[in-house]
Structure 1
Amino acid sequence: MTTPPTPLPANPTDEPSIQIGALVPLTRPGWTEAGRHLLAGLELAARDINDTGGIAGKPLELIVRETAADPHRAAAAVDELAHLGVTALAGEYHSVAARAGAIRADALGLPYLCSSAVLDTLTDQPTEWVARLSPPQSRGWQTYADFLLGAGHTHIAVAAEPSLYWASGTRILRDHLTQHGASVTELDMRTLTPTALCDALADRHATALLLLVGHPEPAVPIVKAVRADPRLSHILIGAPAGQPEFTARTTQLGDDGAAIPFLRYLPEHLTPLGTRAEKTLREHLAQAPSFVAYEGYDTITVLAQLLRPHSTNRPRTTPPWPHISVEGTRGQIQFSRTPGNSVWQWTWPPIQIVGRDPAKPDHFRILHTG
Structure 2
Amino acid sequence: MSRLQAEHLYKVFGRRPEDAVRELEAGADRDQLRAQGTTAAVIDASFSVDEGEIFVVMGLSGSGKSTLLRMLNGLLEATAGSVRFDGQDLTSLTPGELRKVRAENISMVFQHFALFPHRSVLENAAYGLEVQNVPRVERERRATEALELAGLKGWEKSWPDELSGGMQQRVGLARALATNADLLLMDESFSALDPLIRRDMQDQLLELQKTLKKTIVFITHDLNEAMRLGDRIAVMRDGRIVQIGTAEDILVTPANDYVASFTQDVDRTRVLTAGAVMADADTAVGDGTGFATAAELLAAAPAKVPAHTPVYELFGPCSTSQVPVAVVDAEGTLIGVVPAGRLLAVVGEPQRGPDDVITTKAPEAEAEDAAGSEGDNDGKVNAHA
The TM-score with structure 1 as length reference comes to 0.26
Larger radius of gyration: 2
The TM-score with structure 2 as length reference comes to 0.25
